[in-house]
Structure 1
Amino acid sequence: MSETQLLESINSIKGVGPKKLEVLQANGIFTYLDLLTTYPRRYLDRNFTKDIILKQGDIVTLLGSIVDSYIVHGKKSRLIVGFRTLNNERINLVFFRGVNFFHKLFKVERKLVISGKLEYFKGYQIVHPEYEFLTDEKEEEGNFLHAGRIIPLYPSTESLKEEGLDSRGFRKLIYEILEKTQVVENLPKKIIKLRNLMIRDLAFRKIHFPENFEEIELSRRRFAYEELYYFQLLLLYKQKEREKIKRLLWPLPYSQSAATLLKSLPFQLTVDQLKAVERILDLAKKDVPLAALLQGDVGSGKTITALLIALHYIDNHIQVVMLAPTEILARQHYETVYKFMGNMPFLGIELLLGGENKKARAEKLSRIKNGESSFVVGTHSLFQDDVLFSDLGLVIIDEQHKFGVDQRENIRSKGKNPDILAMTATPIPRTLCLTLYGDLDLINIKTKPEGRKPIDTRWYKEDRRTGVYNSIRKYIKEGRQCYIVYPLVEDSEKVDLESCTNAHETLSKEIFPEFSVGLLHGKMKGPEKESVMSAFKQNKVQILVTTTVVEVGVDVPNATILMVEHADRFGISQLHQLRGRVGRSDIASYCILMTSDFVSDDARERLDALTKSNDGYELSEKDLAIRGPGELLGVKQSGLPEFKIADLVSDRQLLEEAKEDALKYSTGDEIEKMEISARFNEGKFLFAN
């Protein structure tokens, strides 16, 4: 089947009339290819039972016909349908529900296939068997589509089922397509040989009509690889498109400001930080814009790394913007930059947040527009139309997975084809990096600053609460500070917020009346948040009761205890992020995970993992295995492609191979074709040739 045939409309298939066509199209099925790539969700083994001797307790699939049927009345009426096998064995099919319906349905001499568990009660019987009537000529001749083989079950909806498009209906349509045509190959022969892949035509036949379960796995592997390979081609295409627009603004290869900053730092940069700066500046020497992702575990020093890079632009009078997802994080970045660079007044550092008074905002916007402000830190307020730059050449996006594609493009469009440096403190498994950010250069900072100690993480249940409170009291008396974090989940935001505010009341009045207990959550106004955080940083507040608003960006080295309530409601990555609020100095730090006595097996696995490891990368792989990519990243903003068959957890090795092969074997023509393929499929990664 040529590419053109694959894209032929399904209305050319026998039996697809206007109603069926309408409902199929409403479910995203327009072409032969759409139908062939509607992969089975699971399979049933409906091979005929070969043993001549029937045994009680066996699960059997048998071919035969109806010999009689009658209703037995009593306390509970039941229908007995006499079924005779090809070996002349009688089996009673017993129905307790739908007696009258089945009585009309099971007519004498109708041929059918039945499946179920064989029982014995005055003879062999099967209660409420699965059944398929033989209605096609092919089946009458013994060419079974719906029984006597491994049969696929397809995803369906009520609207599809109403038009006869249940699993049986899908099998008939797909069988017809495969009967009349041969599908051409769309992968290079050398890749098929190298990766030992099933050829495409055979794979379509075996995934829909397998003879054994090994064929199912081989055909699934073929299509998973195909999907991942073409996705990697699409990423290469995106890179090529980006490279067509040449760089306009060039950072300086040597920055006097960066050199001055390095000399004045009260600490030494780690080897990973220095390598990251060097690597990113090397990429910025190219005549195409930089697009890189800087990954660093919590507390690894990404902000100072990004600042050192930014100074190479600023020294050349190029503006830099740093975008953060929350006001707290934006303010933290601003304060960090100001702390290090405040003695360089020419720098022009600006903080742009929402809710500022009009006059102050107008003055800031004027300085940004005429180029007086070189380094602008802000939140979503930066997306507004009135924010204009003079010469924006570097965009730093922190916790970049929390921004949508449109938002990232919005900020880029305000510059002169600026370089992009995305940052994340959420270690992302390599599999997801290759999928989400395969078109970016990945740079990792794995080592933490010297002197940082691993955080002692412990999981306690309610019976240990008094002891935990006593430990907190002891450390605070020694001058330390503590976070107590409550969950805030969208589905129950109001209840959770009440839980957080009520807890603050109880903790401040009944548990720790001798200390100052502050409250911080996302519903508070900017000045309120700022006031609380300022008091906490100055140790005027010893205990901060809060929500996940402190997940990133809060840096208070004197806070060495983090207590997480209802810890079983958080994912591994989120708990690891929260844990990163402590352990930010050379003082021993503790993370206490509190739960009720009963938690799910999944939660137990997550909490155990955290008590055993401080390595964010190792934990992210564990989180991916437990929760899957969609939930791990948050489906709304994840940017994950809609793979039909590839699985980012089980197909990690295939993804690595597909990336390697796309780089090695793909031609310029193949990459250019991706524009057509991506447009045709609206980014859903179902590929034709």
Structure 2
Amino acid sequence: MSGHQPVSALKGIGEKTGKLFEKLGVITIDDLISYYPRAYDTYEEPVPIGQLKEQTVMSVASVLSKPPDLLRTGKVQMVSAMIRDLTGTLQLAWFNMPYMRANVKSGQMYVFRGRVVKKRGRLMMEQPEVFTREAYDALEHSMQPVYGQTRGLSNKTIVKAQKQALEMRRLEREYMPAVLRRKYELAEINYALEHIHFPSDEKELLFARRRLVFDEFFMFLVGVRRLKEHREKEMSSWGLKECPEILKLRERLPYALTGAQERTLKEVFSDMAGGRVMNRLIQGDVGSGKTIIAILALLQAAYNGCQGALMVPTEVLARQHFESMQKLFTENGIDKVPVLVTGSMTAKEKRLAYEKIASHEADIIVGTHALIQEKVVYDRLALVITDEQHRFGVGQRELLSNKGNTPHVLVMSATPIPRTLAIILYGDLDISVIDELPAGRQEIKNCVVDISYRPKAYAFIQKQVEMGHQAYVICPMVEPSEMIEAENVVDYTKTLKKAFPESISVEYLHGKMKAKEKNKIMERFAAGEIDVLVSTTVIEVGVNVPNATVMMIENAERFGLAQLHQLRGRVGRGKAQSYCIMVNGNGGKDTMERLDIMNRSNDGFYIASEDLKLRGPGDIFGVRQSGELEFKLADIFTDANLLKQASEEVNAILDQDPGLEGEEYRELKQKIEQYLGDREEHLNL
């Protein structure tokens, strides 16, 4: 079976299920095989009741001394049974599953596996799976894949489809040179693809994952290297000289630039005035003042008779940048015209914006990825700025820069990455670091708590809202999952609506919502119409709300530190004191050690370097910098050593054989061309 065939070619997947897979970005068989598990469920040995821990999924073996009871409370039916051993007693509860009463018989040995909770002072296992001893023994110590799901598509359906796809697919030709595979102990590609989904143990999983992560880094870095070589030869058509109007504006600003901002601005202006095309990354912590650097650079282009473009990841952020620019220009008598371009604008609004851009009535263009659509025609585009670069990737950055006659390129990122890794990941760019926060910015107060603190946290949020402020609550998941124990946005919103008075407006936001819905929610939150926003990490780079003072992060242990820091950066943007409450859902000692780094510091670069020291191979389970660059599996912190090794090999191979003409590179060359071609095709859709 060809990997290009649709998933509906698999048995049991009709049109309806195919559309559910499409929601996950899985359209072809190849897409399915590269849709990797987000976690693994390990069936551990059953333990005595006395050793069960709250809020964890565990197994216990026991015989029912009497048949289960069927209880009714209103519309809810509960099948309840009690089991006991020498170490304690445990209640089993199945809600709205009346058939379980007949399925579980007294006097028979079963293994019950489920989430352990404490209610009214005693332990209870909710919705436990039931196994015969023989069936559980067959699963014990195995690792079952857990995939990201969507409503209507269960983990079992995805697992079944994966098994079928792996059995029926055409095997891939090995493309990584044998010398590299031996040197870095890399699995054969087909072995890796099979065992990332169905490993028999952790050792096998790590071996498979290592190969796929190395490949992700290798291909990405080949792309970066090609871009670097292309750009090093580029001479600039745009010598943008410093203008007196910029100096006047800087004198009128209500604050002085920090030393780090001054240094960065000098580097940017020097690049723009030089003979070569600027390709620069500005790395600056949340709130370090990157935006004013961008505005001054865009004005520099405008006062030199050219256009500048600013591309950001969300429509709400684009609108906020556009409106703050308009306000700044009006207040300071600046006659340059900014224009907004976003995907949700009407056809008429877009046409008018395109006309202004093409006629050069617009000097500065602000927007989302809509800026790289074919219909946008620029006039003397001399500067391209992308904000939160990791949301776009190398290819989109290149597409936007191709819109002009080799314009200067400035990339801004608030993702704190240690300099050693940034040099590798952004190898095609020079790097400026803004490592200083503006004076008078209040530090966010942090606390790491366990789940027992929730009632106090809710009371605190209510108090902040009553004082006129707003709050974010972050959950790792959109909807409940049958396999992953973590808070989800949909159910959590219902919980908060019950916990707060009706006067407090609670809404939710997640990445699976339609763009218009997301924008509407973000705009309402920014306007103060929503008091508490329950969201996934989709808000990580989405919106600037100075009135939001509380960030509560559920299951904080499931996020990497750099991502937690990004989320925390959504608050602390106004004059009021802000707070970040991180709820540790599993209470583990290692997790507390990691989260304590967040508790101690608000410095993103310190946090990133400490995160790097703490990471080990075991951290692939559950903790990941999701959304980082273009990687499905690789994590720049956990896999930092592999990233460095891949970088060394890419440079060594391309230095020795730039065109990959050697016989040993024939398959690799084809794979690289396919990889780069796929990305170009994806970006031009």
- 1:649 corresponds to: 640
Give the one of 34, 44, 57 matched to 2:177. Answer: 34
Query: CA 1:267–1:496 in structure 2 vs 1: closer, same or farther (change >3 Å)?
Result: farther
- 1:12 corresponds to: none
Q: Distance in 1 between matches of 2:220 and 2:630?
A: 19
Residue-by-residue CA offset, 1:482-538 (whole Å, 9 max, x unaligned): 222222469969999994244334423542334333444445556655554454445
- 1:674 corresponds to: 658
Shift of 1:605: 4.0
- 1:461 corresponds to: 450
SS at match of 1:555: coil
Q: Please tell me whether Structure 1 or Structure 2 has the larger radius of gyration of its CA atoms.
A: 1
Query: CA 1:286–1:640 in structure 2 vs 1: closer, same or farther (change >3 Å)?
Result: farther
Give the one of 251, 262, 286 matched to 1:298. Answer: 286
| Kept after mapping to 1: 8 A contact 2:450/2:587 | no
Counting only pairs closer than 5 Å after superposition, residues 178-327 of structure 1 correspond to structure 2 as 239-252=228-241, 254-327=242-315
Shift of 1:561: 1.2
Query: CA 1:553–1:276 in structure 2 vs 1: closer, same or farther (change >3 Å)?
Result: farther
Query: CA 1:589–1:425 in structure 2 vs 1: closer, same or farther (change >3 Å)?
Result: same
SS at match of 1:458: strand
Q: Distance in 2 between matches of 1:535 and 1:230?
A: 41
Q: Distance in 2 between matches of 1:647 and 1:507?
A: 35
Q: Distance in 2 between matches of 1:369 and 1:672?
A: 45
Shift of 1:290: 0.4
The gaps in structure 2 that reach 5 residues or longer are 1-169, 195-216, 673-685
Counting only pairs closer than 5 Å after superposition, residues 14-29 of structure 1 correspond to structure 2 as 28-29=173-174
Counting only pairs closer than 5 Å after superposition, residues 152-551 of structure 1 correspond to structure 2 as 155=188, 157=190, 239-252=228-241, 254-343=242-331, 344=333, 346-488=335-477, 499-524=488-513, 529-551=518-540
| Corresponding pairs, count | 478
Residue-by-residue CA offset, 1:78-135 (whole Å, 9 max, x unaligned): xxxxxxxxxxxxxxxxxxxxxxxxxxxxxxxxxxxxxxxxxxxxxxxxxxxxxxxxxx
Matched, 1:585 2:574: yes
CA RMSD of aligned residues (A): 4.6
Q: Distance in 1 between matches of 2:475 and 2:634?
A: 32
Shift of 1:475: 2.8
SS at match of 1:428: coil
| Kept after mapping to 2: 8 A contact 1:39/1:154 | no
Query: CA 1:421–1:496 in structure 2 vs 1: closer, same or farther (change >3 Å)?
Result: farther
Counting only pairs closer than 5 Å after superposition, residues 605-620 of structure 1 correspond to structure 2 as 605-620=593-608
Query: CA 1:318–1:537 in structure 2 vs 1: closer, same or farther (change >3 Å)?
Result: same
Letter in 2 for 1:471: F
Residue-by-residue CA offset, 1:39-88 (whole Å, 9 max, x unaligned): 1676xxxxxxxxxxxxxxxxxxxxxxxxxxxxxxxxxxxxxxxxxxxxxx
TM-score (norm 2): 0.60
TM-score (norm 1): 0.60
Q: Distance in 1 between matches of 2:522 and 2:459?
A: 25
| Kept after mapping to 1: 8 A contact 2:401/2:407 | yes
Letter in 2 for 1:304: I
| Kept after mapping to 2: 8 A contact 1:29/1:35 | no
- 2:545 corresponds to: 556
Query: CA 1:397–1:492 in structure 2 vs 1: closer, same or farther (change >3 Å)?
Result: farther
SS at match of 1:309: helix
When structure 1 is superposed on structure 2, of 320-329 and 671-680 the one drifting more is 671-680
Letter in 2 for 1:390: D
Query: CA 1:569–1:230 in structure 2 vs 1: closer, same or farther (change >3 Å)?
Result: closer
Q: Distance in 2 between matches of 1:154 and 1:421?
A: 39
| Kept after mapping to 2: 8 A contact 1:399/1:425 | yes
Query: CA 1:571–1:670 in structure 2 vs 1: closer, same or farther (change >3 Å)?
Result: closer
Letter in 2 for 1:367: K
Query: CA 1:291–1:498 in structure 2 vs 1: closer, same or farther (change >3 Å)?
Result: same
Letter in 1 for 2:398: E
- 2:35 corresponds to: none
Query: CA 1:494–1:361 in structure 2 vs 1: closer, same or farther (change >3 Å)?
Result: farther
| Kept after mapping to 2: 8 A contact 1:431/1:652 | no
Query: CA 1:36–1:296 in structure 2 vs 1: closer, same or farther (change >3 Å)?
Result: same
Q: Distance in 1 between matches of 2:193 and 2:526?
A: 60
Counting only pairs closer than 5 Å after superposition, residues 51-66 of structure 1 correspond to structure 2 as none
SS at match of 1:545: strand
Q: Distance in 2 between matches of 1:549 and 1:331?
A: 17
SS at match of 1:247: coil
Q: Distance in 2 between matches of 1:585 and 1:380?
A: 28
Residue-by-residue CA offset, 1:220-271 (whole Å, 9 max, x unaligned): xxxxxxxx9999999777545323232112212x223422332332222211
Q: Distance in 2 between matches of 1:554 and 1:230?
A: 32
The gaps in structure 1 that reach 5 residues or longer are 1-24, 43-152, 162-227
Identity of matched residues, %? 35
Residue-by-residue CA offset, 1:257-308 (whole Å, 9 max, x unaligned): 4223323322222111111100111122221100000001111111111111
Query: CA 1:493–1:273 in structure 2 vs 1: closer, same or farther (change >3 Å)?
Result: farther
| Kept after mapping to 1: 8 A contact 2:298/2:309 | no
| Kept after mapping to 1: 8 A contact 2:238/2:272 | no
Residue-by-residue CA offset, 1:552-602 (whole Å, 9 max, x unaligned): 242222321111122222221211111001122343221001243x25566
Q: Distance in 2 between matches of 1:574 and 1:348?
A: 35
SS at match of 2:599: helix
SS at match of 1:583: coil
Query: CA 1:459–1:572 in structure 2 vs 1: closer, same or farther (change >3 Å)?
Result: same
